[in-house]
Amino acid sequence: MGLYVGSTVINTADLDRAITFWTAALGYVVRDGDPTFAVLTDPRRRWSNVSLQRSDEPKRGRNRLHLDLYTADQAGEVARLEGLGAGRLPWEYEAGHDHIVLADPDGNEFCVIQSPFTQE
């Protein structure tokens, strides 16, 4: 198969704010950008890119697609992301859940998943 995920695109009303949040959240750097679009990349090229696309249309409703971010320190990462501007969303968690639902400063949902495996 010749396909792979090269980038996940997130729409944003404020491109500069989104760049600040997502580069700090993921440890990514801006690989390419202009006033309407930016490609963020893992500096060690281990993971798929995250791209940010300027949108004049506000977010409405729940995302149809979201990022799952894995970590061995869920509580620490959730606190760090909240400090960067993420918000914790109200969610009905089932017993034994391994995720916390957050939203970026534009309201785009993502999950932080507790994982026994880490990638350094």
Alpha-carbon distances of 20 from 23, 93, 94, rounded to whole Å: 6, 30, 33
Q: What is the CATH number of the domain that holds 17?
A: 3.30.720.120
- Predicted model pTM: 0.86
Q: In this structure, are 40 and 73 located in the same domain?
A: no
In a domain, 60, yes or no: no
Q: What is the mean pLDDT of the chain?
A: 92
The tens digit of pLDDT for each residue in 1-52 reads: 687 888 999 999 999 999 999 999 999 999 998 999 999 999 998 899 999 9
* CB distance 86 to 25 below 8 Å: yes
What residues make up the domain containing 26? Answer: 1-55
> Total structural domains in the chain?
2
The CATH number covering residue 115 comes to 3.10.180.10
What residue has token string 């060690």? 44
Tell me the pLDDT tens digit for each residue of 101-118. 999 999 999 999 998 766
Q: Are residues 42 and 72 in the same domain?
A: no
